[in-house]
Homo-oligomer: A and B are copies of this chain.
């Protein structure tokens, strides 16, 4: 039986991205978001939604660059902390003991301890009133070698990204392998 549950921002899974930026004095900040996702293949784009007024938002408007680091589930507490606190009030890297590393191609920091790091340049002209997702072109990705498979691609079971469940506000891990994409469905094709 279908039931209406109203107009709510609910879909599953959502990711946990750590958005890295520098402020005007060069201090690194890291903010956890879940309203985000890959948004184009070629060129590769990632979309992130950060509320206007947030410290990271202002940093991105000014610098036009950001990073996205994908944390593994063992950093759940740090990830949650970085979504609760504003970088204008606390030094989140210092507090968590995590290490900011300047990205190679953009002037923004990523989190060294997190195994996958996207370096991004903002695609649109954005300003302090910009209320839509910010689209970044992914100009390079850094990965810890330990999480790569024999083809040099990230293995999600080694990366162990955190899944965020909106509504109930919980974090989950990635579960069992279910099937191969662009393959399992072929048997239904004419």
Contacts and interface: CB of A to CB of B under 8 A. Distances in A.
A39 interface: yes
A185 B80 contact: yes
Contact of A45 (B9, B44, B135, B186): B9
Interface residues of A, number: 105
Given A78-B188, A141-B6, A38 B15 contact: no
B172 A9 contact: no
Contacts of A183: 80, 169
Contact of A144 (B2, B17, B131, B139): B2
* This chain: copies in complex: 2
Contacts of A43: 7
Interface string A38-69: 11111111110100000000000000000010
A190 to B, nearest CB: 6
Q: Tell me the interface secondary structure of chain A in the complex.
A: mixed
A38 B11 contact: yes
Interface string A1-36: 111111111111111010000000000000000111
A168 B140 contact: no
B133 A47 contact: yes
Contacts of A101: 2
